[in-house]
Amino acid sequence: MSFKAYVGIDVSKLKFDVYIKEKESYKQFKNDKSGFIAMVKWLQKLIGPVLVETFVCFEHTGLYSLPLALFLSEEQISFAMVAPLEIKRSLGITRGKNDIVDAKRIADFAYRFHDKINVTKLSASDLNKIHLLLTLRDRLSRNLGSYVASKNETERALGEQYLPELFTSYDTIIATMKAEIKRLENEIKEIIEQNEKLATSMQLLTSIKGIGLLTAAYLIVYTDNFTKFDNWRKFACYSGIAPFDYQSGTSVRGRTKVNSIANKQMKRMLYLAAICAIGFDTELRDYYHRKQAEGKPKMLVINVIKNKLIARAFAVIKRGTPFVDTKKYAA
């Protein structure tokens, strides 16, 4: 789809800078509801009262850009939230940085690549809620790990009797964090159970050995309940577990390896799922030990198992039936 006006926005915590390519006009607004309304009025004044043929582009900066995305979606203005690295790499060599220049560069990016950029369609409300809860749970989990490690290290060095009050505080903090993590998991589970489509996907995904509540929840969120990716291979690429060749001409012959550009959270969850699957899935456990005996690197074999799990996940969703462990029925 072609547009008559391309708008680049550089979003920050308290403000955002807007540049209209066709009008070579720039203005700054507050990053809140009043700023969004003021921006639309400014765009209508310069472009026209109807913004149907206007394309807005900005970087995906998490919480800072989400309110703007929600507002544009409500106003039915076409927009795209693009990964910052994608915009940065498209610009080539650049020098200097300021908000006005960044907004202009994003507008140029939107104009040049509008035929390749997908218009952003926000996930359903329940998916956004689950994503926010998962993000907070992950942050708490990491903090919990640091407190446990700190307590153990202090106990090893000084002994618990050196300062009992310190360890009482550690125990209180750790117990509180564990309880809050459990509460967040229950909230996630409740949201999923109250949504028929999400509940069905959860039931199908958790029928696969190795995939539990959290991994399934991340899969549902990052695939928009399996509507965002055409097949499992594309999602494997997105998750950073798809292998790519590394060769050029006759002199460069590197080993096939995964790319560092990936959704690191999903990649980590798939690793944990793969380790769990090796312990509980007979077929995958046999495959793991067989490849190890053949001399294959451990992480390469685990990566293959990650791909197998994603393939199974997409398969059960597509079929609409739970996973069947055919290994146990083999003669």
What pLDDT digit, counting tens, does each position of 185-210 carry? 999 999 999 999 999 999 999 999 99
| Cα–Cα dist 10/110, whole Å | 13
pLDDT, average across residues 18-30: 95
248, exposed or middle or buried, with CB in 10 Å at 0-12, 13-18, 19+? exposed
Distances in Å between the alpha carbon of 310 and those of 49, 56, 286, 330?
46, 33, 19, 23
What is the predicted pLDDT for the residue at 167?
Answer: 93
Q: How confident is the model at residue 254 (pLDDT cuts 50, 70, 90)?
A: low
Instruction: Please give the Cα distance from 29 to 24 (Å, whole number).
Output: 17
Per-residue confidence at 94, pLDDT binned at 50, 70, 90? low
Please enumerate in sequence order all residues whose Cβ is within 8 A of that of 246, keeping only pairs 6 or more positions apart, or say none. 252, 254, 255, 256, 257
In the block, tokens 């793991």 appear at 288
Reported as a single tens digit per residue, the pLDDT across 263-305 is 899 999 999 999 999 999 999 999 999 999 999 999 999 999 9
- CA quadruple 223, 228, 232, 234: dihedral sign: negative
Structure tokens at 277: 């699957």
Token output for 203: 């039931």
| CB-based contact 4:22 (threshold 8 Å) | yes
Q: What confidence score (pLDDT) does residue 190 get?
A: 96
pTM for the structure as a whole: 0.84
Helix axes of 196-205 and 298-319: crossing angle, nearest 10 degrees: 140
Q: Taking Cα atoms as reference points, which of 105, 21, 20, 32 lies closest to residue 71?
A: 32
Q: What is the pLDDT of residue 2?
A: 75
- Provide mean pLDDT across the span 34-44: 96
Average pLDDT over the chain, rounded to an integer: 90
Half-sphere exposure of 268 (CA within 13 A, CB side): 6
Long-range contacts of 173-176 (CB under 8 A, 24+ apart): 173/147, 174/144, 174/147, 174/148
CA distance 304 to 299: 9
Q: How far apart are CA 216 and CA 225, in angstroms?
A: 10
Flag whether pLDDT at 331 surpasses 60.
no
pLDDT band at 123 (very low <50, low <70, confident <90, very high): confident
Task: Look at phi and psi of residue 203 and say left if phi exceeds 0, alpha if psi is from -120 to 50, else beta.
Answer: alpha
Give the per-residue pLDDT at 118: 85
What integer pLDDT is reported at residue 14 of this predicted model? 93
The band of 245, judged by pLDDT with boundaries at 50, 70 and 90, is low
211: pLDDT strictly greater than 60: yes
Nearest to 145, CA basis, from 177, 168, 186, 188: 177
What whole-number percentage of the chain has pLDDT above 90? 74
Sequence length of the chain is 331
